[in-house]
Amino acid sequence: MGSNGMPRKSCEQFLENAFELLAVAPEKRQLLRSPYRELRFELPLKRDDGSISLYYGYRVQHNQSRGPFKGGLRYHKDVDLEHFVALAEIMTWKTSLLDLPFGGAKGGINCNPHELSSDELETLTKRYTQRMAMLIGPDQDIPAPDMGTRPQEMAWILDAYSHHGGFSPAVVTGKPVELGGAKGRNEATGYGVAIVTALAAEAEDIPLEEATVAIQGIGNVGAYAARFLAEKGAKIVALSDSHCGLYTEQGFDVEGVLQKVARCKEEGGQLSDLNDVFEIISNEELLELDVDILIPAAIGGVICEGNAEKIKARLVVEAANMPITCKADTVLNNQSIKILPDILANAGGVTVSYLEWVQNRQRFQWSRKRTLEELENRLTDAWEAVEQKTREEQLNYRQAAYFIAVERILKAIDLRGF
């Protein structure tokens, strides 16, 4: 997902469709589109070699009608304010759809974390926290990991914030378990993808047992989704990273192929080095495979106007944020391809972030089993609400999801007043 405005335009169009369905007044449409606060600030960093690099920190707080702001921190060299406005808005609809007591936020730093030492990353992260200290907190704004950040960065934020507001583990989620992180958080998003995929497959009369599945993206989300779907009997026939994909008509031994991929990466190799074991395909070919279920779990905009007519899957599950553009969404719907939208499909992460926040407020850590059971219950409730709305209003899944999310926020605004 680049910073070229595409994700914002897609999100705006999906939102506009919901506004039309709900007959939202023009002034309220503007209110829902406009972020509550947008921040950009400089972050000078003295490097290990004595030189100074200048970075910029960002935080967009979109809406707090239903609770404190919630959203990840992204470290990537190409991020900008417009990028975070789009992602913060998506978080608002996602938390509302899952009926979580949060609003949407997003932020980060325009750095390449792989070019920084551990000491430099710690300094940069804590400096970001110092600049944001008055605007974050358990009841104000709760950051979490995103692209380029890990539990370690959350631990550094917790430490920096503690010097200002005392030890408050609920200030961030996605922390190491040793510092109050939720057991099960690491696999939560991928597990959530598998849960809602299974529910949607049943509704669409796609028997998950032996259903063929292609997953673009073999990172944390894609790998765990593959594991859990394979456990449910699905046949994972294709997996990819940013360079290329692996394909086998018979279906992978998922754990075995993930171990092979991990060893290959550790040795400095690429997926293409496994060509003696699997067929190598491009990411474009993976998206166009004739499979039952396609799961784009990498970056945004991979299904666009240029390739939408070539998509053959019966069900597309948006494990990535905004992997389908607006025009492609129209094409797929016209081809009767069902789409499970990102604000539902990849909501497992923010849901377990909420459960971590709850545990931190109680100062009582749950078992992994309890956390994942609660995640499954909440995702099932959200799916049932979406499916019911599709039947009642004759909508597709995306329209129904946005309808529910926007309606809940409008209700909160009306109840709270101005």
Distance between CA atoms of residues 167 and 183, nearest Å = 20
- Respond yes or no: is residue 312 known to be catalytic: no
Instruction: Please provide the DSSP assignment of 268-282 as one string.
Output: T--GGGGTTTSEEE-
The partner residues of 316 in beta bridges, in order of sequence, read 294, 339
Residue 110 near residue 80, CB atoms below 8 Å: yes
Please identify which of the residues 106, 183, 235, 260 carries the catalytic annotation.
Answer: 106
Give the pair of three-digit tokens for residue 324: 């389908």
Would you say the C-alpha torsion 162, 166, 172, 177 has a positive or negative sign? positive
Give the dihedral of Cα atoms 347, 353, 354, 357; nearest 10 deg. 180
Strand pairing report for 69-75 and 103-109: parallel
Alpha-carbon distance of 107 to 172, in angstroms, equals 13
Cβ(75)–Cβ(149) below 8 Å: yes
The set of residues, in sequence order, having a beta carbon less than 8 Å from that of 129 and lying 6+ positions away, is 136, 156, 157, 160, 161
Q: Are 291 and 213 in contact (CB under 8 A)?
A: yes
- The residues annotated as belonging to the active site are 106
